[in-house]
């Protein structure tokens, strides 16, 4: 049979030869490195037989698909080890996720950190055994019988729900699992792995189902990559916004109030107010109008918008005076109503409506995570109504807006185009194609590199997702730009064109920070709680060395407060070293140290959060420095 290679060359192989044989035919070195193959665009095991005319690409460790294949096989290895060590454990699902994998187990006991160490050791033994990982196919009925005999009832449920006549099973030694694959050819290629944590998870994410135990892990091909990742996790623990939120007095959660409902403490309230005021000014600079809409809208509005058909499981509902209402999960419907409130001309467009709008979404309890995933949050939401000839310019302006803001905070960022979902969407395919092309064209005109995430658009339109990279390399989804031809049709909104006829505007949904709450969580971890001077809830703390300087310290603090700075004093009868350490623990950017020398000369000495000192400064010189830090939104501590 003839096999085509990616470079256009062809090779002749014996009928029935597999991808490993192809790799071996090309070179012994390639066969040694090979882990899987892409056959006619589909990932396959190396042992899968090839067919005449197939186009084949051999996958090695350096290919982008390789890491997921390794981690999928590592998940099976973990499940194998767990069943070796613990009796009566049932396996459920074990997918690859960003940065690793997990497996959910039905186990009557509780997995401990010590258990994870035992499982890792058993995994190493199984890996060293160099056991082949073998794929087989059988009818669904045979597979159900097989897994029933093994007591794996979750697997039989999955097979029944799949409804496929034939399923694939992967076996390694005495372990077998239902799986689509592909996998590594042998356990020996799984060398560098780490089990990370245990969490609870409901079967199939449904709170009505049994609570399972989920073990998270990760794996890499190189030891140094695993070590770098584990070190990053250690750094992430230090930066955890939930821990810093308590330490710095930013926010809290209380089960008496309800899960996923953040409460901002005084310093967190100041931080949020600063960020929101900054956002208002940035939007006003760019000709946005600030609006506000109600939290409750009649259910009929959500039917008309398509939310009931496509998003109801994420919403909360209530009833008032026998009228049904939906609590808004987003602000678009309110903004459409504002647009409809008066007749619009082509000269009025574009109309840009901005709202720091509170929204509520029904997140499952297992998905809640500090400020990163909550049930009540504020979006920096805006909707732009524009003509078709204005569309590209408006998308580019939003891309520039995002870039300006993220650069200000020191974030790197990447772009992804998310396209039409397979099932839940509204509108015609023609509208979806036009919207998708508008987003692509704008990015291409800006020279922006982007990846494509098929099927992950909103139900009303495709979108550009912009992910931030924080100080330790993690990615966070924040900004989005959605192009919508559909809601304007559903609400029959229009403008009067130059020709005197009605025309349909196009609607852009966009957020810059996204959820303000989530962004605050990301900022807290990005800066490890050490916010830049302009953003810090407490910018300056005035410290006296002895009681003699108390009056001078109060006067300095009063002058700084009068100039608009966020200042506190620590005038306690404590050693100055103790007071400095406390201020540093609270990550205060500037500490003014006032002793007799400073008081007698009418000057100040400044200790920076970094440990550097600036001694015997004229007060007005200091005010000029902090004024420039504040005015320019600088990330520096000093100038």
Catalytic residues: 332, 361, 379, 381, 383, 463, 509
Sheet strands side by side (includes 613-618): 567-570, 540-544, 590-594, 603-608, 613-618
Beta bridge partners of 468: 413, 476
CA angle, corner 39, sides to 9 and 34, nearest 5? 80
Give the Cα separation of 251 and 12 in Å (integer): 66
Q: What token pair was written down for 214?
A: 């989920």
Helix H or strand E encompassing 372: none
Give the Cα separation of 328 and 314 in Å (integer): 10
Neighbours of 489 (CB within 10 A): 15
Give the Cα separation of 48 and 26 in Å (integer): 17
Q: What is the sign, positive or negative, of the torsion defined by CA atoms of 87, 88, 93, 97?
A: negative
Give the Cα separation of 334 and 351 in Å (integer): 14
Cβ–Cβ under 8 Å, residues 43 and 96:
no
- Can you tell me which residue has the tokens 């058993």? 122
Cβ–Cβ under 8 Å, residues 569 and 554:
yes
Give the Cα separation of 486 and 292 in Å (integer): 23
Q: What token pair was written down for 626?
A: 């902090």
List all residues 6 or more positions away from 289 whose beta carbon is below 8 Å from its beta carbon. 351, 352, 353, 354
Helix H or strand E encompassing 213: strand 211-220
Cβ–Cβ under 8 Å, residues 619 and 603:
yes
Among residues 80, 49, 45, the alpha carbon closest in space to that of 65 is found at 45
Give the Cα separation of 23 and 276 in Å (integer): 58
SS (H, E, C) 271-319: HHHHHHHHHHHHHHHCCCEECCCCCEEEHHHHHHHCHHHHHHHHCEEEE
Beta strand 412-418 with 450-453 is: parallel
């Amino acid at each position: 049979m003839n096999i085509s290679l990616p470079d256009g060359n062809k090779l002749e192989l014996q009928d029935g030869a597999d991808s490993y044989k192809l790799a071996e035919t090309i070179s012994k070195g390639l066969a040694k490195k090979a882990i899987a193959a892409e056959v006619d665009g589909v990932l396959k095991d190396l042992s899968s037989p090839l067919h005449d005319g197939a186009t084949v690409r051999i996958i090695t460790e350096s290919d982008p698909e390789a890491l997921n294949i390794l981690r999928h096989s590592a998940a099976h290895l973990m499940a194998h080890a767990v069943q070796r060590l613990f009796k009566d454990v049932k396996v459920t699902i074990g997918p690859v996720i960003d940065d690793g994998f997990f497996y959910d187990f039905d186990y009557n006991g509780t997995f401990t950190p010590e258990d994870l160490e035992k499982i890792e050791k058993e995994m190493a033994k199984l890996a060293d055994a160099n056991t082949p990982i073998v794929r087989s196919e059988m009818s669904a009925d045979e597979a159900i019988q097989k897994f029933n005999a093994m007591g794996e009832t979750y697997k039989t449920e999955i097979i029944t729900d799949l409804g496929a006549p034939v399923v694939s099973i992967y076996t390694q030694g005495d372990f077998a699992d239902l799986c689509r694959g592909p996998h590594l050819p042998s356990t020996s290629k799984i060398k560098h792995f780490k089990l990370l944590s245990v969490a609870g998870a409901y079967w199939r994410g449904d709170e009505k189902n049994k609570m399972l135990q989920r073990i998270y892990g990760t794996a890499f091909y190189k030891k140094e990559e695993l070590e770098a990742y584990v070190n990053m996790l250690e750094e992430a623990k230090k930066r955890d916004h939930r821990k810093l939120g308590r330490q710095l007095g930013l926010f809290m959660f209380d089960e008496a109030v309800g899960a996923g409902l953040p409460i901002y403490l005084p310093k967190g309230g100041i931080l949020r107010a600063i960020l929101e005021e900054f956002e208002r000014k940035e939007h006003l600079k760019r000709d946005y109008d600030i609006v506000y809409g109600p939290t409750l809208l009649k259910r009929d509005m959500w039917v008309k918008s398509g939310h009931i058909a496509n998003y109801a499981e994420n919403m909360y509902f209530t009833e008032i005076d026998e009228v049904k209402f939906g609590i808004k999960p987003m602000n678009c419907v309110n903004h459409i109503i504002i647009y409809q409130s008066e007749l619009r001309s082509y000269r009025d467009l574009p109309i840009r409506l901005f709202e720091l709008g509170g929204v509520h979404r029904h997140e499952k309890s297992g998905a809640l995570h500090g400020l990163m995933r909550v049930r009540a949050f504020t979006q920096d939401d805006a909707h732009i109504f524009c003509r078709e000839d204005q569309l590209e310019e408006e998308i580019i302006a939003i891309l520039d807006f995002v870039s300006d803001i993220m650069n200000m905070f020191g974030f790197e960022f990447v772009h992804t185009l998310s396209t039409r979902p397979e099932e839940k969407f509204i509108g015609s395919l023609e509208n979806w194609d036009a919207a998708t092309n508008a987003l692509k064209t704008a990015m291409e005109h800006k020279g922006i590199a982007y990846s494509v995430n098929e099927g992950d658009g909103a139900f009303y339109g495709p979108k550009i997702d912009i992910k931030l990279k924080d100080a330790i390399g993690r990615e966070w989804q924040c900004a989005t730009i959605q192009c919508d031809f559909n809601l304007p049709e559903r609400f029959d909104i229009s403008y009067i064109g130059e020709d005197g006829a009605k025309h349909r505007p196009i609607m852009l949904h966009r957020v810059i920070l996204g959820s303000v709450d989530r962004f605050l969580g990301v900022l807290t971890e990005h800066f490890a709680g050490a916010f830049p001077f302009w953003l810090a809830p407490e910018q300056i703390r005035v410290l006296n060395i002895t009681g003699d300087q108390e009056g001078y310290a109060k006067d300095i603090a009063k002058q700084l407060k009068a100039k608009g700075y966020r200042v506190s004093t620590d005038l306690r009868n404590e050693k100055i070293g103790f007071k400095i350490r406390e201020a540093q623990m609270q990550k205060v950017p500037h500490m003014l140290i006032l002793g007799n020398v400073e008081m007698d000369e009418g000057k100040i000495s400044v200790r920076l959060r970094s440990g550097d000192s600036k001694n015997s400064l004229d007060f007005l010189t200091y005010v000029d420095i902090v004024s420039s830090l504040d005015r320019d939104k600088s990330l520096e501590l000093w100038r």
